[in-house]
């Protein structure tokens, strides 16, 4: 939407939310317009409120029904019966790009590269915490976890149980995350070239469930198979076998092995399906246990892991 008028000038619109018969649209002049869209073919710009001066950015309707506006200040509004907006509080220090409100808290990204949490129970919305985090593209909070689309880094997940001290618990790296929505156990993330769905039932360990590429086709992640456990004698030559890994809808393009436990061995050809190593010397019982992990990557960049165990006896 780029045709809102302000003092006779066409002003770019930045963000929009809809409630009832009204669309709430932020503009480069720093205001939030309410536009009657009861006839979608003939929207009517009915008025505006806000700070002005520099561009307003993300508009968000919180779980309390108030409208939050990021921009030169963090402002929030009550929606009146006729759809117009009345100011309901302001944080004067926030120069913000993103805003999300829920559970009495307000989450913003600021122009000085921070992820901030504000106390929404007070009209001035004072800061509870400020965490250094450049390039925040979107914020979504579900329960005690904040999901942050963090540009080229991917999706970051913070435990915000203590709003004064958020803790990052996971980074799900991808080729750029621009927006995120969490519904139930799943996070839906748009990235540079595709759309990814992550299982976040355990927020500290998100896992890729599926993704769509730019053409709208689904990618199913690969299935890693690190092979059966083995028992080998001291100093034996051992071959690990990941060749039974497969990708249900494509091909495996990468194998990567690493040793997780046990005396360090020298893995040869660690980036193939069948790496080799010489077992360590074991002079007496008990057996020595080695655990290896295989990560496979498919032709769409999705990964999965599998582990196998090698017991070395004297």
For Ca ion, which is the closer residue by CB, 83 or 301?
A: 301
| Region of 74-82, 173-181, 213-221, 285-293 interacting with Ca ion (CB under 5 A) | 213-221
User: Using the rule CB under 5 A, is 116 a contact of Ca ion?
Assistant: no
| Region of 4-12, 160-168, 195-203, 291-299 interacting with Ca ion (CB under 5 A) | 291-299
Smallest separation, CB 177 to Ca ion (Å):
20
Smallest separation, CB 271 to Ca ion (Å):
19
Q: Which of 75, 219, 304, 308 binds Ca ion (CB under 5 A)?
A: 219
User: Using the rule CB under 5 A, is 28 a contact of Ca ion?
Assistant: no
CA nearest to 231, candidates 273, 287, 307:
287
Interactions with Ca ion, residue window 232-251 (CB under 5 A): 247, 249-250
User: Using the rule CB under 5 A, is 297 a contact of Ca ion?
Assistant: no
Distance of alpha carbon 277 from alpha carbon 207, whole angstroms:
30
- Which residues are CB-contacts of 9 (< 8 A; sequence separation ≥ 6)? none
For Ca ion, which is the closer residue by CB, 112 or 218?
A: 218
DSSP state of 80: P
**Sheet strands (E) in 120-229:** 127-132, 138-142, 145-149, 155-159, 167-172, 177-183, 186-191, 194-199, 207-213, 218-219
Give how many residues touch Ca ion by CB under 5 A: 6
Q: Do 97 and 70 meet the contact criterion of CB atoms below 8 Å apart?
A: yes
Q: Which of 257, 298, 308, 310 binds Ca ion (CB under 5 A)?
A: 298
Distance of alpha carbon 265 from alpha carbon 279, whole angstroms:
7
CA 309 from chain centre, in angstroms, equals 33
Interactions with Ca ion, residue window 248-267 (CB under 5 A): 249-250
Interface residues toward Ca ion, by CB under 5 A = 219-220, 247, 249-250, 298
């Amino acid at each position: 939407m780029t045709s809102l008028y302000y003092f006779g000038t066409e002003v770019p619109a930045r963000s929009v939310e809809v409630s009832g018969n009204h669309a709430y649209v932020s503009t480069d002049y720093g205001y939030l317009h309410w536009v009657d869209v009861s006839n979608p073919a003939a929207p009517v710009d009915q008025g505006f409120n806000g700070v002005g001066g520099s561009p307003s950015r993300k508009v968000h309707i919180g779980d309390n029904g108030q409208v939050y506006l990021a921009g030169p200040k963090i402002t929030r509004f009550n929606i009146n019966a006729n759809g117009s907006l009345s100011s309901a509080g302001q944080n004067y220090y926030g120069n913000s790009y993103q805003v999300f409100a829920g559970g009495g808290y307000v989450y913003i990204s600021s122009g000085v590269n921070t992820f901030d949490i504000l106390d929404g129970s007070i009209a001035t919305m004072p800061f509870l915490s400020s965490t250094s985090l450049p390039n925040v593209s979107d914020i979504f909070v579900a329960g005690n976890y904040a999901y942050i689309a963090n540009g080229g880094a991917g999706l970051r997940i913070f435990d915000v149980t203590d709003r004064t001290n958020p803790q990052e618990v996971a980074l799900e790296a991808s080729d750029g995350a621009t927006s995120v929505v969490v519904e139930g156990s799943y996070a839906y993330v748009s990235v540079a070239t595709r759309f990814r769905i992550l299982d976040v039932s355990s927020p500290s360990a998100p896992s890729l469930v599926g993704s769509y590429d730019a053409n709208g086709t689904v990618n199913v992640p690969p299935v890693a198979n690190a092979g059966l456990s083995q028992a080998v004698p001291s100093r034996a030559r051992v071959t690990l076998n990941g060749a039974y890994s497969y990708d249900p809808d494509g091909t495996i393009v990468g194998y990567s092995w690493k040793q997780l436990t046990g005396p360090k061995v020298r893995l040869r050809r660690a980036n193939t399906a069948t790496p080799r190593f010489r077992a360590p010397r074991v002079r007496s019982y008990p057996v020595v246990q080695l655990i290896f992990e295989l990560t496979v990557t498919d032709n769409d960049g999705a990964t999965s892991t599998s582990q196998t165990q090698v017991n070395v006896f004297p």
